[in-house]
Chains A and B, each alone.
Chain A
């Protein structure tokens, strides 16, 4: 962990790690656009998190749970068959899918549940898309004996049935949301309405690096363990930093967790992959940066899919976890300043990569992660032999089997 502090270049023209500012701004993005009822709550959360962040006892407790309950560090695995298949750079997979609950989401949930307990909150609410964040939240709530309510779009309840069952078994109440298109955006609306209505006892455990400040920076900090470990692991394996980092981006928590510790390393190219759904030439995609423009939703200013009149439009992706019309504000800023590059992958490309990874590496990736995998052919060749690429395998694909089977016409 100390590697980052010592490796940080002292005199960069732009210190990409110096953001956000005290008001939660990454350049023009971020901020706290919430109803007045919630303002005192997010300011209180800001104070509580700032204290916890520098409290060695809090950090030690978190590190302990990450090691013994989550199963960290997650391995950095050299995917030799994928490497050979693409015929270019070495491909390393950061195995976040091996975490307890099968995705990176638990890193953040563990941090926030410890914070919620520190703040004496007694009721936890969360939103979920794919259900991975809902499962992770339900898990940490079970661990600490806290009641848990998860808002989930009714469409997602349908297409992610195994995760709904898991949440129920973990003791959480899953509330299907039928407003809007009944997906992640609508679940987040409903969670915010719950929070506005239950201000005394409730902690809103946001799963993505989005929402009002301090959520984007807090979630990023809790997920940065991915990048910090990767840094040590790749230095150990290769004796140098990678040429490229790749991760899928919906709200962007797994991506920012991998990227952030490398932002000031000029030689490391950073690539996020957005969900292009049916294609970027259609209006059925979820690529906020590539197909949206800046606006305000869910407490932060960021890129959004929206109409000319500023109405938020529905995202479309085969992956429930990427099916969101916005993106975390730090990604919006990294996109604008050019520090990170954001590509896209369609549903079909993700499906193909999903199958390829399963066949060549024996790893069934989440459909979210498959979007990042889908851009590997180009990236591996472009970087070339002798190069090193690290891809964040953010989750496992068990939850997606029914979706994939339906798309491929296979019996379940």
Chain B
């Protein structure tokens, strides 16, 4: 499946004239049982694509919320190998929802890039986003993932000019992840009217769907992005719901899935409202 699973899902949603709702959660956060329940529950709650965060000790592109989520995960002993096991378990009940791992390069280097690509494909991972691995440094990883049919999904940002966009578009598979703001996760808020031209630009350069992330928190914001993009990612807002539930002794699973449902509702209704 892999790249094909991403393409199939995005094509099916395009046929329905709606964007994908992409839900980001940190693997293993806040504990193994809750994390497994969240992962299993995401598709039913309305996540069209799942992004699973791989925790890293030094997440330079992440704001405080996802930093803390990573620390919680690492305190639970989450490893790359462990995350791949969780993906295997997820695939026992869901073979249709694309699942993408998002993290930083060093844990993958430590695991071994060729082994990681092979094991990720076998576990049922469809794509990988490596935040600190720009196209210029992605040769070995990209080749390894290509051989396994796993998409190396590249990031385009507001600072990516036309010349660079060609480089970014060249090796990307599945979709292009457009980082809508120059900032860390959970920081500035994206404005749909500002990103529409950029999405058109990235779509034209890559010939691929464009999924937008960073700076989307509410169903209304997700809907606004879903009107102009092929997908909208929400991460920090979900992680915040989880953290708040933990802090107040409520069930993090129910909280996250309810939020996913309302965000998904926003995305699903977006173009209906617009039309």
Contact = CB atoms under 8 A, between A and B. Distances in A.
Interface residues of A, number: 36
Contact of A40 (B79, B133, B164, B187): B164
A180 B58 contact: yes
B154 interface: yes
B105 A311 contact: no
Nearest to B164: A40
Contact of A33 (B55, B105, B187): B105
Contacts of A34: 132, 134
A39 B107 contact: no
A40 B137 contact: no
B57 interface: yes
Interface string B80-123: 10000000000000000000000011111111000000000000
Contacts of B192: none
A33 B133 contact: yes
State the 6 A-B residue pairs at the shortest beta-carbon distance, nearest first.
Answer: A310-B110, A310-B107, A197-B183, A36-B155, A192-B60, A311-B57
Contact of A297 (B80, B106, B154, B155): B106
A34 B55 CA distance: 17
Nearest to B74: A311
Main secondary structure of the interface of A (DSSP, over half): mixed
Contacts of A309: 79-80, 107, 110-111
A41 interface: yes
Size band of the interface chain B makes with A:
35 or more
Nearest to B111: A310
29 contacts: A32-B134, A32-B136, A33-B137, A34-B134, A35-B60, A35-B132, A35-B157, A36-B134, A36-B154, A37-B157, A37-B158, A37-B182, A40-B159, A40-B161, A179-B64, A179-B67, A189-B58, A192-B60, A196-B182, A197-B182, A294-B109, A295-B106, A295-B109, A296-B105, A296-B132, A309-B80, A309-B111, A310-B106, A310-B111
A36 B183 CA distance: 11
B106 A36 contact: no
Contacts, number: 114
Contacts of B110: 295, 306, 308-310
A206 interface: no
A304 B136 CA distance: 22
B229 interface: no
Given A36-B168, A296-B132, A196 B56 contact: no
B34 interface: no
B137 A31 contact: yes
A39 B164 CA distance: 9
A162 to B, nearest CB: 28
A236 interface: no
B56 A296 contact: no
Nearest to B155: A36
B262 interface: no
Given A296-B105, A297-B58, A199 B182 contact: yes
Given A39-B160, A310-B110, 12 more contacts: A31-B136, A33-B132, A36-B154, A36-B155, A36-B159, A36-B168, A179-B67, A185-B58, A189-B58, A197-B183, A296-B105, A309-B79
A296 B79 contact: no
Contacts of A298: 58, 60
B109 A310 contact: yes
Interface string A300-318: 0000101011111100000
A39 B136 contact: yes
Interface string A55-94: 0000000000000000000000000000000000000000
Given A35-B155, A36-B155, A306 B182 contact: no
Contact of B109 (A40, A198, A296): A296
Contacts of B158: 37, 199
B61 interface: yes
Given A179-B67, A311-B57, A41 B108 contact: no
A198 B137 CA distance: 24
B242 to A, nearest CB: 19
Given A32-B137, A199-B159, A306-B106, A312 B57 contact: yes
Interface in A105-139: none
B36 interface: no
B220 interface: no
A238 to B, nearest CB: 45
B131 interface: yes
A39 B183 CA distance: 13
Interface string A194-213: 00111100000000000000
B179 interface: yes
Contacts of B137: 31-33
Interface in B137-180: 137, 154-161, 164, 168, 179
Contacts of B164: 39-40
Contacts of A197: 182-184, 187-188
A297 B132 CA distance: 9
A312 B160 contact: no
A31 B132 CA distance: 11
Contacts of B74: 311
A291 to B, nearest CB: 16
A398 interface: no
A33 to B, nearest CB: 5
